[in-house]
Amino acid sequence: MDVTLSAVVNSSCVSQVCDLSFSLKKMLSRHKLTHNPNRPMAECLLCHKKFTRNDYLKVHMENVHGETEGC
């Protein structure tokens, strides 16, 4: 029988939220911050929609409000 590497992955290093697996526990704890609702989020000043990442806000601004950074 061959044992695949994925079978060896420790289930305690798998994100319960998005099923991503990590080789190190500390990597998982860092990743978990992305699912923490209390972490600071980027907020759209125009419609107050909140985003977990600044890049998402930027894309939202361009797509929804047609604004680009700078000028």
Q: Which residues bind Zn ion (CB under 5 A)?
A: 15, 17-18, 20, 44, 46-47, 49
Minimum CB separation from Zn ion for residue 7, in Å? 21
> Which class for 41: exposed (0-12), middle (13-18), buried (19 or more C-beta within 10 A)?
middle
- CA dist 28 and 12 (Å) reads 9
Nearer to Zn ion, 1 or 40 (CB): 40
Minimum CB separation from Zn ion for residue 3, in Å? 26
Q: How many CA atoms lie within 13 A of 8 on its CB side?
A: 6
Which residue is closest to Zn ion by CB? 15
Nearer to Zn ion, 40 or 67 (CB): 67
Identity at 51, one-letter amino acid code: F
Minimum CB separation from Zn ion for residue 19, in Å? 7
